[in-house]
A and B are shown apart, each in its own frame.
Chain A
Amino acid sequence: MLSVDVTKQLGEFAIEASFASEGRVTGLFGASGAGKTSLVNMIAGLLRPDRGTIAIDGETLDDTSRQLHVAVHRRRIGYVFQDARLFPHLDIRKNLNYGRRMNRLAEDAALWQRVTELLDIGHLLDRRPGRLSGGERQRVALGRALLSEPRLLLLDEPLGSLDEERKEDILPYLVRLRDEAGVPMVYVSHDASEMRKLATQIAIVRRGRVTAFGGSEVLPAATEPA
């Protein structure tokens, strides 16, 4: 259960968003500049709301009325960015192990096996990020986030930097992730067809507000972006 009720002023732009989702994959759908990334950054703790609350599974992460703000690194929320943001000085194995080491988690061979197989990245372990294709990088970024054992996974346009063909390659991995990984996700996109394939509940974001919330019926009828 993820509940968000926040306001944030960003220059001229104001975010006033409120939604609560039980979904395995909560989609945030809207045009670029609608405030989706700022919303996700607030859930991650990278951006602090001016006013409001954010809670996951009954644990409050932000509550401005109590001056409560749980720091990013204590939230256990995984984040896959549009640009994979792999650490360039570490090989893929160390990138994947980073979250486990920082959280001082015990090694989990079964989880490692499952994630590397699910994402098909086992053969990349000894390479540096600079030698990977865009699609490979994004899969490693997914694996890295999953292996930090988050309670929620944020995906901000994870296919946004890929060409059409690559998108079609990655999408099945995301579907498998939804069905097999057991981690609830927030999926941000401006692509209605991606939303239909992945999201179980969808929030429509327009000019900083959530204007509709529900199943795929809230999406615009055609596949063109909102």
Chain B
Amino acid sequence: MFDISPTEWTAILLSLRVATVATLVATPLGIAVAWLLARREFWGKALLDAVIHLPLVLPPVVTGYLLLLTFGRHGAVGAWLAEHLGLVFAFRWTGAALACGIMSFPLLVRPIRLSIEAVDRRLEQAAATLGAAPWQVFLTVTLPLALSGVLAGMVLGFAKALGEFGATITFVSNIPGETQTISSAIYALIQTPDGDAAAMRLVVVSTLMATAALIASEWFARRALLRLHGN
């Protein structure tokens, strides 16, 4: 049963690549957004918060279709990116990474935001009185103290990106070797006669990865608490 075929390996490795790229690109942006939401008051803050959470509540197929309209070859952004930067998303693994990045963004941002909110602002004030400019305060006090939350957010976002299905298959379809992730491979296998055993193998792999990610996320969250108590 655990004889994983080359096609299945391709799907597993592609999923890992898509989720890794999505997480690495989304993290700096996620930290910036989390910091804005945690530490700044500005016009449109509620709107920004809502937009970020939208992928959590919209049907994934809607998000995928909106991505196709925007980032497709004829979409406003997609056409520009293809022409000026040679960056094509539609029906490419990069598009899968984009879809996964957007779908996992709320899960990535939330733990980071919470951990930044938990950083004692009085410590940031103390740093400022010692001569630290705002960006130095952020890099030397806020971010290190929120680091476990950042890692927890990354793990959670990564796990979500690994399993994303609806938006990805809508946006970039289900092309083996290019856009066929674990989820879309399972979907294809279930619809194929005699695909059950292969689907089951991928289900097990996918469950193991998700469980490991949850345990890692929990572990980082615990470390965050310890760090804040100064031991």
Contact = CB atoms under 8 A, between A and B. Distances in A.
A88 B228 contact: yes
A145 B130 contact: yes
Contact of A72 (B128, B141, B227, B229): B128
Given A88-B229, A130-B230, A73 B141 contact: no
A102 interface: yes
Contact of A148 (B130, B134, B145): B130
Contacts of A89: 144-145, 227, 230
A102 B132 contact: yes
Contact of B129 (A79, A86, A88, A130): A79
A89 B128 CA distance: 17
B133 interface: yes
A131 B126 contact: no
Q: How large is the interface on B (under 10, 10 to 19, 20 to 34, 35 or more residues)?
A: 20 to 34
Secondary structure at the B interface, as helix, strand, loop or mixed, is helix
B127 A87 contact: yes
Contacts of B84: none
Nearest to A130: B230
Interface string A116-137: 0000000000001111000000
Interface residues of A, number: 29
Interface string B116-133: 000010110111111111
A83 B125 CA distance: 12
A148 B144 CA distance: 21
B231 interface: yes
B130 A99 contact: yes
A78 B231 CA distance: 26
A221 B112 CA distance: 54
A29 to B, nearest CB: 22
Contacts of A81: 122, 126
Contacts of B231: 128, 130-131
A76 B145 contact: no
Contact of A102 (B131, B144, B230): B131
Interface of B: 120, 122-123, 125-134, 136-137, 140-141, 144-145, 227-231
Interface of A: 44, 46, 71-79, 81, 83, 85-89, 98-99, 102-103, 128-131, 144-145, 148
Given A72-B128, A86-B230, 11 more contacts: A71-B133, A73-B130, A73-B137, A78-B130, A88-B229, A89-B227, A98-B132, A98-B140, A99-B131, A102-B140, A129-B230
